Amino acid sequence: MQTKAYAAATAKAPLGPITVDRREPGPNDVVIDVLYCGVCHSDLHTARGEWPGILYPCVPGHEIIGRVTSVGNDVKNFAEGDMAGVGCMVDSCRTCSPCEHDLEQFCAGPHGFTGTYNGAAKGGLPNTFGGYSKQIVVDQHFVLNVRHSDDQLAATAPLLCAGITTWSPLKHWNVGPGKKVGIVGIGGLGHMGVKLAHALGAHVVAFTTSESKRQAALDLGANEVVVSKNADEMAAHADSFAFILNTVAASHDLDPFTNLLKHDGTLTLVGVPEHPHPSPSVAPLIFGRRAIAGSLIGGIAETQEMLDFCAERGITSDVEMIAMKDIDHAYDRMLKSDVKYRFVIDMATFN
């Protein structure tokens, strides 16, 4: 089947409309009309060729909310008319140890997990195409139930990547009541990190390079805000965190953050900047047995758990709606940290 989509033809080209092939739906497939798609910084890294191995044309988008239009005969949890979500993965081997433990993001099969875009497509098609499109066909295992109310749907889309990418490490490193947690970079991921850590009952310290976000970070649920360029403000938190989540999308010095960890504390990186961070100093790691770790999105079951947690508490993303044709302008604003806090494409603007 064919669908309209918005694609980058090359790393240098602005995005524009194309028609792409989706596989013919099989017995396990869910066909979804895309209503909203969040704009992740990974879309920008990918479309503009900042990461290696990008296949063009490239249709980004992995924060998808849509309406189910049809389901295959073996589909159990979805029916025509349901709201559905699709995040960063659309397939994996299902049989390796990580897949069997609901950690599809770490699939150890021959090809790893299949990304919603820039992945290996089934059915002889060239590569997967993401949510900047009118329709998508996804195996039922990778489709999420959406229990937010209709008026929250656009603001729910960013939970499919920004939400789960912050939720998973917060849970893994046991963030909760009585714990002090740092969230670095108050962009799409970081603002969800603040909201979710607050909802989990932690004492949240937001780190931003933007003086203008000081009040906004408090409004999102932070207990304290540190402008990270200010050495005095940073020094006040030295040796005080068991866990800091760093969401920054650009290369930067990590040492000022490792120095804020207590002994045995962990600085977890989720940002994937185009250029590597400067090598961290070893001394702050050795003295205190501190660790620098990484985290990748989250499994499908964990994504459903996060979506349901957010639906019960009315948690959504703070979004700015855009038309499909304005995507390159949105990318340029994202590069200037000028977004509060996630752009979401209204697919009704694209026909």
Tell me the C-alpha to C-alpha distance, in Å, between residue 284 and each of 28, 180, 235, 255, 280: 50, 20, 14, 8, 9
Distance between CA atoms of 129 and 131, rounded to whole angstroms?
A: 7
Determine, following the binding rule CB under 6 A, whether residue 195 of this chain makes contact with ligand NAP: no
Kindly indicate which of the ranges 7-15, 180-188, 237-245, 303-311 contains the residues binding ligand NAP, using the contact rule CB under 6 A.
Answer: 180-188
Q: Considering the rule CB under 6 A, would residue 252 count as an interface residue with ligand NAP?
A: yes
Q: Choose among Zn ion, ligand NAP, none what residue 112 binds, the Cβ cut-off being 5 to 8 Å by kind.
A: none
Three-state DSSP class for residue 154: helix
In the list 22, 41, 179, 198, the residue contacting ligand NAP (rule: CB under 6 A) is: 41
Q: Can you tell me which of 199, 234, 242, 296 binds ligand NAP, judged by CB under 6 A?
A: 296
When binding is defined by CB under 5 A, the residue of 3, 92, 152, 268 that contacts Zn ion is 92
Q: What share of the chain is helix, strand, coil (3-state, %, to 5)?
A: 30, 25, 45
Alpha helices in 230-299, H assignment, sequence order? 231-235, 255-258, 283-286
For residues 287 and 204, what is the distance between their CA atoms, to the nearest angstrom?
A: 25
Question: If binding is defined by CB under 6 A, does position 208 make contact with ligand NAP?
Answer: yes
Positions 265 through 284 that interact with ligand NAP (CB under 6 A): 270-273
Where b means 16+ CB within 10 Å and e means fewer, 185-202 reads: bbbbbbbbbbbbbbbbeb
Q: Does 261 bind ligand NAP (CB under 6 A)?
A: no
Identified binder of Zn ion from the candidate list 18, 55, 96, 218, rule CB under 5 A: 96
**Which residue is nearest to ligand NAP, using beta carbons?**
187
- Please tell me the number of Cα atoms within 13 Å of 264 on its side-chain side: 1
Residue number, 251 or 281, with CB nearest to ligand NAP: 251
As measured in angstroms, the least distance from the Cβ of 62 to Zn ion is: 5
The footprint of Zn ion (CB under 5 A) covers 40, 42, 92-93, 96, 99, 107, 109, 161
